[in-house]
Amino acid sequence: MSNFRPLLEVRGLSAAWDGVPVLQEVTFDLAEGELLVLLGPNGSGKTTLLRCLAGLERPSEGTIRLGGEEISRRPPHQRGVVLMFQDPALFPHRSVYENIAYAPLLQHRPMSEVEEEVGRLVELLHLSGFEERSPDQLSGGELQRVALARTLAARPRLVLLDEPFASIDVELKAELRSEFREVLRASRTSAIHVTHDREEGLFLGDRVGLLFDGRLRPPADPSDVFGNPGTARSARFLGYNVLDGPGGTSAVLPSDLRVVPAGAPGVDATVLVAGPVGRENEVVLRTDDRQRLEMRLARSESVPRPGTRLRIGWERAVRLPPD
């Protein structure tokens, strides 16, 4: 990013549960208005990292600077960092309006300002008409919209999103994540979004960082992250096939695998299962040296039967360094 002005500077952040490391020397920056996505599998430390940033957990080592101020020891309510959960965590005894107005009222803002702010967010997040409803009268998507409105009403310096779309239906998820991105951009809110959904992460992030076993790979542009998976583990997580060969380890996208004539460069494999997935056919194969491959074929191409022996080659491969 050009003109990179760090709002958040995290340096050497480590945390452990009962002596088991959960975060290991995590270091990254976040610019004003930037949406950073941290991608990682379950148990990689994503939630713990967010909880440390929000002040809900205390890291064992490291510093967190927000707007140049060290905030590691500051209690959660004095950080200006709001965490949004997968479960919207709305107050069930308060109406939609009261949920959104919660933080402005805590901040003792004038009532006219609170009303104006809530009205603006209700409008922005398409919640008009829902103001007096209680959370148990809302759908999953509406609940998350209210949670985001409540978050933005606090005028946070930083928003942390902990897999907020994980329990949303597939058809609504795409719509909601576009909406969230738009709203965060429009309000120039800095945010860190953690998810295990690679498509979501690569779509949303201005930059993306990969988190495995509590270690964060330096965040980069999504296309760079995807184009240079770096390690076999990252490559697998990003959807690549990882092939070990005499020349080293390579990462190949399923769409780059091709059936090639016998004797052509490639590997011999047996079809395990094959069938249509969306507009393509997916073929799962096992190579003779027991490596699993996924291949995408156009719907116009014939689908091989399970047990069929094929020679598989590829057009492009990313060379991976040895583990």
Site of interaction with another protein (CB under 8 A)? 15-17, 51, 54-60, 75-77, 79, 81-85, 87, 89-93, 102-103, 106-107, 147, 150-151, 154, 156, 160
In angstroms, give the least distance from the CB of 151 to another protein. Answer: 7
Nearer to another protein, 60 or 139 (CB): 60
Collapsed DSSP state (helix, strand, coil) of residue 278: coil
In angstroms, give the least distance from the CB of 20 to another protein. Answer: 11
In angstroms, give the least distance from the CB of 224 to another protein. Answer: 31
Nearer to another protein, 15 or 235 (CB): 15
Collapsed DSSP state (helix, strand, coil) of residue 209: strand
Nearer to another protein, 45 or 205 (CB): 45
In angstroms, give the least distance from the CB of 84 to another protein. Answer: 8
Nearer to another protein, 156 or 219 (CB): 156
Question: For 122-137, what is the HEC assignment?
Answer: HHHCCCCCCCCCCHHH
| Run of H or E including 26 | strand 20-31
What would the two tokens of residue 310 be? Answer: 């094929």
Nearer to another protein, 150 or 173 (CB): 150
In angstroms, give the least distance from the CB of 303 to another protein. Answer: 37
Q: Is 161 buried (19+), middle (13-18) or exposed (0-12) by CB count in 10 A?
A: buried
In angstroms, give the least distance from the CB of 142 to another protein. Answer: 17
Nearer to another protein, 211 or 235 (CB): 211
In angstroms, give the least distance from the CB of 40 to another protein. Answer: 19
Q: Is 64 buried (19+), middle (13-18) or exposed (0-12) by CB count in 10 A?
A: buried
Nearer to another protein, 82 or 310 (CB): 82
Q: Are strands 158-162 and 191-195 parallel, antiparallel or unpaired?
A: parallel
What would the two tokens of residue 194 be? Answer: 């953690």
Nearest-CA neighbor of 127 among 147, 151, 107, 104? 147
In angstroms, give the least distance from the CB of 112 to another protein. Answer: 20
- Provide the H-helix boundaries in the chain: 46-54, 96-106, 111-124, 140-153, 170-186, 198-204, 222-227, 232-237
Distance, in Å, from the CA atom of 120 to the CA atom of 180, rounded to the nearest integer, reads 15
Burial readout 201-234 (b: 16 or more C-beta within 10 A, e: otherwise): bbebbbbbbbbbebebbebbebeebbeebbbbbb
Nearer to another protein, 159 or 259 (CB): 159
